[in-house]
Amino acid sequence: MDKAKVVEIKDLGITYHTIEEETEALRDVNLDIYHNEIIGVVGPSGCGKSTLLSIIAGLIKPTKGSVRVNGRLVDKPLNNVGYMFQSDQLFEWRNILNNVLLGLEIQGKLDDEAKERAKEMLHSYGLGDFIYSYPYQLSGGMRQRVALIRTLILEPDLLLLDEPFSALDYQTRLAISDEIGTILKKEEKTAIMVTHDISEAISMSDRVVVLSQRPGTIKKIFDIKLSCNKERTPLKSREAPEFRHYFNEIWRELDIHV
């Protein structure tokens, strides 16, 4: 099956200017991403991983090259691209339902039908009892789930995940990444996930992109083929025999010396 191309990154480069110096953060990044693919992006710290996401999200303009989402040039934040942050960024003064509705409110798409849909989603993701609670009453994992619903309710064609689990403790992180990975596959979403956790990248992604030291450029792309492919979930992926093999190779590719 020939899948539709969702993201097209072409000759992308960006140079930052500060008073002290100019820094080339990314150079010649080329990448195509197809429908229902999850792409993991790993790289040494400061290699421009998050910058790459910000460019795709339309928050920063690249110095060179272009990004297209569903054929449309990204020159400002697009409505069909969703972004998830390191921490949930819930607004403490809004209850859970109103947090979920925030994006719709901004985009002027808030109506009764949307409210019903939000409630349904909260129910189906196990947050039905917390619709009118405030963020401080929820655990870290639940809050991150709310953040995911806030993104998904906008029905984005592309999801950008910026180290979405790094603020959670290890156990919660495993559970939530499993849940979110499964949801993304079930809803047939396309996603790019930046992480510094190699295991997380392998367990959730179809392909893992390794970026080099600054200026960040694509060093290698791994096609993740695990033998639990029949019913692959992030947690089950970790049990696959090939998992260690990918881990070692990516680790070698990262070339990290302390």
Partner 1 sequence: MSNKSISKSHQEYLSAIKRRKRSILIAQIGILILTLVLWEVAANFRWIDPFIVSSPSRIVKLFIEYATNGNLHKHVFVSLMETIVGFAAGTILGLIIAIGLWWSEYWARVIDPYIVVLNSLPKTALAPIIIIWVGAGYSGIIVTAISVSIVVTIMNMYNSFISTDPNKIKLLKTFGASKPQILKKLVLPASIPNLIGTLKISIGLSWVGVIIGEFLVSKAGIGYLIVYGSQVFKLDIVMMGVVILAIICALMYKIIASIEKHFIKWIE
Q: Measured from the CB of residue 37, what is the shortest distance to partner 1 in angstroms?
A: 21
Contact with partner 1 (CB under 8 A): which of 30, 75, 79, 129?
79
Q: Which of 1, 2, 18, 136 is in the footprint of partner 1 by CB under 8 A?
A: 136
**Nearest distance in Å: CB 115, partner 1:** 17
Under rule CB under 8 A, residue 216 binds partner 1: no
Q: How far is the CB of 199 from partner 1 (least distance, A)?
A: 25
129/255 with CB nearer partner 1: 129
Please tell me whether residue 230 binds partner 1 under the rule CB under 8 A.
no
- Which is closer to partner 1, CB of 78 or CB of 209? 78
Which C-beta is closer to partner 1: that of 58 or that of 65? Answer: 58
Minimum distance from residue 50 beta carbon to partner 1 (Å): 11
Nearer to partner 1 (CB atom), residue 7 or residue 57: 57
Work out how close the CB of 89 gets to partner 1 at its nearest, in angstroms, rounded to a whole number: 5
Nearest-CA neighbor of 161 among 67, 238, 88, 62? 88
> Does residue 128 belong to the site contacting partner 1 (CB under 8 A)?
no
| Strand order across the 72-73 sheet | 22-34, 5-17, 64-69, 72-73
CB of residue 232 to partner 1, shortest distance in Å: 29
Which positions from 84 through 103 interact with partner 1, judged by CB under 8 A?
A: 85-87, 89, 91-93, 102-103
Secondary structure (H, E, C), the chain: CCCCEEEEEEEEEEEEECCCCEEEEEEEEEEEEECCCEEEEECCCCCCHHHHHHHHCCCCCCCEEEEEECCEECCCCCCCEEEECCCCCCCCCCCHHHHHCHHHHHCCCCCHHHHHHHHHHHHHCCCHHHCCCCHHHCCHHHHHHHHHHHHHCCCCCEEEEECCCCCCCHHHHHHHHHHHHHHHHHCCCEEEEECCCHHHHHHHCCEEEEECCCCECEEEEEECCCCCHHHCCHHHHCCCCHHHHHHHHHHHHHCCCC
Q: Which stretch, 11-19, 34-42, 83-91, 213-221, contacts partner 1 (CB under 8 A)? A: 83-91
- Return residues touching partner 1 (CB under 8 A): 57-59, 76-79, 81-83, 85-87, 89, 91-93, 102-103, 105-107, 134-136, 154
